[in-house]
A and B are shown apart, each in its own frame.
Chain A
Amino acid sequence: MWKIVLCLIFFSYPSSLSGEEHISESNPAKHTSIDVTNLASLQRGAKYFINFCSGCHSLHFMRYNTLMVDLKITSETNSAIDNQRLSNKLIFTLAEPNDTIKPSLLRRDALTWFGRNPPDLSLVTRARSTDWVYNYLLNFYQDEKRPFGVNNHVVNNTSMPDPFAVLRQKIHPNYQTKNKISYEQPVKTEELLDYSLNASQDQEVIKLENIAADVVNFLAYVAEPSKMLRRALGIKVCAFLMIFLCLVYFLKRQIWKNRPPT
């Protein structure tokens, strides 16, 4: 199963890309195929984004109710149920369903804690490509010198903490771990998982790649929600033009038949 998800393509990134990347022969860049028609993936991506990313990152060109309609998480009969579902499952702030997705992180807090405001992610896959975002999410590694204990191979000395840290640590506040540590006790460093980049040995990291793929798929959809409509309309327009071309060709031939002889 993981072989289907894990497609290893060796890219050679030009050095002019922003950020210093340590994508190399030993740590090859990964590729994920994007399919914005896969609604299940988009819905999971929306869920993961709201859970792991929307605490700090905004999507200030995407509205909650647009998400609802496009990702078909609507009951289509009762808007009260829809709004309830939205506020229960997707909206963790005081936003209304027709508001854009904004975090509750204050700018001054962001500057204090991270050193910069977390950028808006509505267009990140268009600005940087889906593979860049995918690789960025998966290339966090442990680094004690950094304030959050993590660094990133794609953007060196990134100010962002690892969004999937809770997954990597196998510690979740709502249930106990196999070592029976409750969430009230502080987590000891020894209990933390090794930040292994070797996917074949660690089941948790494999799931992480599925999660990252879904998030990137979702972000690709957010970057251009009209993509599928554009392609559908394009087929119709080109089909019409091909038929019209035949008609115009015969018209032209007919008119040019009557041209005066040279």
Chain B
Amino acid sequence: MSKKTRQNTTAKTHFLDWLSARLPIDRFKRYFTHYYLPSNLNFWYVFGSLSLFFVALQILTGIWLTMFYIPTSQEAFNSIETIMREVSYGWLLRYLHTTGASFFFIVIYCHIFRSLLYGSYKKPRELVWLIGVVLYIIFLVEAFLGYVLPWGQMSYWASQIATSLLASIPIIGHDLMLWVRGNLMASGETLHRFFALHVIGIPLLLLFFIWLHLVALRKVGSNNPEGQQPAYLASDTNTALPCMIPFHPYYTVKDLFALVIFLLIFFAVVFFLPEMGGYFLDTNNFIPADPLQTPGNMKPLWYLAPFYAMLCLSPNNLLGILAMFSAIAILFALPWLDRSAMNSLRYRRWYSRLALGIFILNFFLLGYCSMTVLTPTKIMFMRILAINYFLFFCLMPLYTRYDTCYEKKQLTS
């Protein structure tokens, strides 16, 4: 470096030069400035980065909560109330964490919905989808483990029920249940190991899979609301190929805008409605765990409710568990079940749209019904809903083969 150039550099650029000679800073910057995405991404595409924000929020608030939480069955409940009352802004940390968990699932469900809308699971993005489903399962487990930690009535009995599901597995079930529980019934040992898993075991796994998910996405590039364009349409002026723009600054600022809107809604809930009518914070969880008294109105967590519904449908334990696991497992098969030539719902006929609409309605109704008092009529209705759920996937090879439409069908005429 000549003397003249050295005089022109500021301390900051000098430091940055020093740093980039020793760390791949420029390459890291290029991950954002040289990653190109289609310019026509709409608001359904913000939920990925929103979920990243919520993971960061959960980790931060979780670390602070762990500083005050005591993971024994005698002290867990008391430590949470101490956090709520005696720790400065402890109530804020707790509400951020509980509301964050529920909002995280709202974001994830919107994120998955986007993939269903625009066929983001199809070639070449099957692996992104598969890693995403693995992430979804890990998040469900993590959220469930976190729910057990306050050791209220709902926490205790949810852990008792969930671990007793394991006993229905043939041959190894009973021993597996004892191994997971650490005792003959859900107890302080169960709480303590769930704490270890929730705080460090599963987060490490999550971070690895999130990294893998992003790496896989970068490799194949993002989908767009138009879906992949077949080659012969490229010259069609009506459906112009979206031009590609760099992630930074376009999508960083767009995601920031979406984030602020979402934070407005999120903080409105945190500060004004943290219990959300018993859905985010169950009223039964304000009673300390009592192994001698089951609450009359056992409710699953709302984001686990559709899968809990599958459990309720069969009097045979093993069949119920198989139904529940296959409901999640069938998501893995989705990229190969969809035989449509076009990715996006914009280029499909009414079969796919109706099927997706029914599927979403089913999902919500299953979840809602399983959180209410079950009657025989309701169980019959839920069985129909569950069959519908599976039909969405099982019939997909059939209706997607015939529903491709090469002109764009607007949802509103």
- Contact surface of A with B, Cβ cutoff 8 Å: 14-18, 61-62, 66, 122-123, 126-129, 223-226, 230-231, 233-235, 237-238, 241-242, 244-245, 248-249, 251-252, 255-256, 259-262
Contact = CB atoms under 8 A, between A and B. Distances in A.
B85 A225 contact: yes
A42 B129 CA distance: 55
A59 to B, nearest CB: 11
B189 interface: no
B266 to A, nearest CB: 9
B263 A252 contact: no
Contacts, number: 97
Contacts of B92: 230, 233
B81 A122 contact: yes
B39 A259 contact: yes
Contact of A241 (B84, B91, B263): B263
A241 B256 CA distance: 12
Nearest to B298: A16
A241 B286 contact: no
Contact of A242 (B82, B264, B272): B264
B373 A123 contact: no
B280 to A, nearest CB: 13
A61 B260 contact: no
Contacts of B400: none
Given A122-B81, A262-B243, A234 B257 contact: no
B326 interface: no
CB-CB nearest 9 A-B residue pairs: A234-B271, A127-B286, A123-B286, A126-B286, A226-B91, A252-B257, A61-B81, A241-B264, A16-B297
Interface centre among A126, A127, A231, A251 (most CB of B within 10 A): A127
A119 B28 CA distance: 58
A231 B272 contact: yes
Contacts of B283: 126-129
Given A225-B85, A262-B39, A16 B249 contact: no
A231 B95 CA distance: 13
9 contacts: A126-B275, A226-B85, A230-B92, A230-B95, A231-B272, A255-B250, A259-B250, A260-B39, A261-B243
Contacts of B263: 241
Nearest to A242: B264
B185 interface: no
B81 A238 contact: no
Contact of B271 (A238, A244, A259): A238
A235 B268 CA distance: 8
Contact of B295 (A14, A18, A251): A18
Contacts of A256: 250, 253-254
B242 interface: yes
Contacts of A249: 257
Contacts of B33: none
B228 interface: no
Contact of B287 (A127, A225, A245, A262): A127
Contacts of A16: 296-297, 373
B240 interface: yes
A128 B270 CA distance: 21
A122 B84 CA distance: 12
B267 interface: yes
Interface string B272-294: 10110000000110110000000
Interface in B338-397: 373
Contacts of A230: 91-92, 95, 271-272, 274
Given A126-B283, A245-B264, A260-B243, A237 B249 contact: no
B171 interface: no
A259 B245 CA distance: 8
B231 interface: no
Contacts of B95: 230
Given A252-B256, A259-B245, A261-B243, 4 more contacts: A127-B286, A237-B271, A256-B250, A256-B254
B85 A14 contact: no
A230 B92 CA distance: 8
B1 interface: no
Contacts of A223: 286
Nearest to B261: A245
Contacts of A226: 84-85, 91
B81 to A, nearest CB: 5
Contacts of B78: 61
B254 A238 contact: no
A231 B271 contact: yes
A17 B297 CA distance: 7
Contacts of B275: 126
A233 B96 CA distance: 14
A111 B295 CA distance: 22
Contacts of B297: 14, 16-17
Nearest to A234: B271
A256 B251 CA distance: 9
Contacts of A251: 253, 256-257
Interface in B217-259: 240, 242-243, 245, 249-250, 253-254, 256-257
Contacts of A123: 81, 286-287
Contacts of A262: 39, 240, 242-243
